[in-house]
Structure 1
Amino acid sequence: MNWVEGIGYLGTALTISASAMSTMIPLRIISLVASAAVITYGLLIGSMPVVLTEAIQIPFNAWRLWQMVRLVRDVETAAEGDLSLDWLKPYGTERAFAAGAALFAKGEEATTMYYVEAGCFRIPEYEIEVRAGGIVGELGLLSPGNRRTASLICTEAGRALEVPYSAVKQLYYQNPEFGFSFLKLTSERLFQSANAPVSVGGDIV
């Protein structure tokens, strides 16, 4: 085996290693290195189809790597700072609610959580108000049977970002670092909720 074949085998080994990885950031990094090795091998043996195939994959892997690194950075910043959840916006749908609108009722099946951007929302069972910057409905993801533990009513017309649990789960499974940081963020908000006044901007129910 000469050194050219060695480069080819290296690219193959790295590709197999990337396929076996379960975490996204290392997977993308190894995939980029594998593509570089395979492209080098393809150029040395004069195989343009090999070069083209790997060259097409590099931008996709680089983009996904950048997304995951940014996500982890933003979540860690939120957990260590003001607990802002602006990083969730790309994964949710902004909805407007009129005063008196009921978002969900206690006992209903829970599939989404809400990040309040404007207006005022009330949790009648606990007499708690949730205003801009508050997150509500997250505990349904953790409750037995995914049932709502309380109701939510809009008392002042406003907007809320509706984030499906499926998006949260997908982010969690894609990157354990995100999962750890998100759990830390949730725990801190739960402690805040336990000591919060009646009118708040960061409760979880």
Structure 2
Amino acid sequence: MSWIEAIGYLGTGLTIASTAMSTMIPLRIVALCASCAVIAYGVLIGSAPVVLTGMIQIPVNAWRLHQMLRLVRHTERAASGDLSLDWLKPFGTSRRFRAGAVLFLRDDPAEEMYLIESGRFRIAEHGLDVKPGDIVGELGMLSPGNRRTGSLACVEAGSALCLSYSEVKQLYYQNPEFGFYFLKLTSERLFQAAETLRAENAGTDVL
């Protein structure tokens, strides 16, 4: 077997290895290496179709790898204290709501969460206003039976980024590190809510 054939077999082996991987970041890295080997092999044997195939795959895999690395980086930063969730925007759909619109009611089936972009929303049961930059509805993903823990209505017309739980789960399965940091972020929010409730109760007791 010549060294040229060895490069071809290397590209084939890396391609097969990438399809067998369950996590997205290693898959994209190996796929990029496979494309480089395939391009080198195509150049050495003078096959334009082989070179073209590798060149098409490289930007696709590189972009997906960039997206996932950015997702993990921003999620890690959020979990360590920066609770901004703007990094979710590429994975959701923006929707507009008029004043008075009810997004969901307590005990409704929960299928998506919302990142408020503009306007003002309110959770009636808890007397909480949800403003731009806040996230709401993510706890339905963790509640028993995936049921809403409160009702959400639009008080002032605005828009919200809608991210389905199925998309969140897909991101989790593609990259367990994302899942870890997302759960950590959710825990941070639960602790913050508990602290706020404790402070409000303390203030009531004083009065």
TM-score class, shorter: 0.7 to 0.9
- 1:58-137 to 2 correspondence within 5 Å? 58-137=58-137
How far apart are residue 33 of structure 1 and its match? Answer: 0.7
Amino acid at match of 1:99: A
Aligned-residue CA RMSD in angstroms?
1.9
Between the aligned partners of 1:19 and 1:94, the Cα distance in structure 2 is 33
Structure 2 residue 192 is matched with structure 1 residue 192:
yes
> What TM-score results when the alignment is normalised by the length of structure 1?
0.88
> What TM-score results when the alignment is normalised by the length of structure 2?
0.87
- Residues 51/190 of structure 1: CA separation in 2 closer, same or farther (3 Å cut): same
Amino acid at match of 2:92: G
- Residues 51/95 of structure 1: CA separation in 2 closer, same or farther (3 Å cut): closer
Between the aligned partners of 1:128 and 1:158, the Cα distance in structure 2 is 17
Structure 2, unmatched stretches of 5+, are 199-207
Structure 1, unmatched stretches of 5+, are 199-205
How many equivalent residue pairs? 198
Amino acid at match of 2:191: F
Amino acid at match of 1:83: L
Between the aligned partners of 2:5 and 2:104, the Cα distance in structure 1 is 62
Between the aligned partners of 2:93 and 2:194, the Cα distance in structure 1 is 28
How far apart are residue 111 of structure 1 and its match? Answer: 1.2
The corresponding residue for 2:53 is 53
The corresponding residue for 1:13 is 13
Q: Deviations over 1:168-205 (max 9, x none)?
A: 1222222112111111111111111111259xxxxxxx
Considering fraction of residues, name the structure with more helix: 2
- Residues 118/47 of structure 1: CA separation in 2 closer, same or farther (3 Å cut): closer
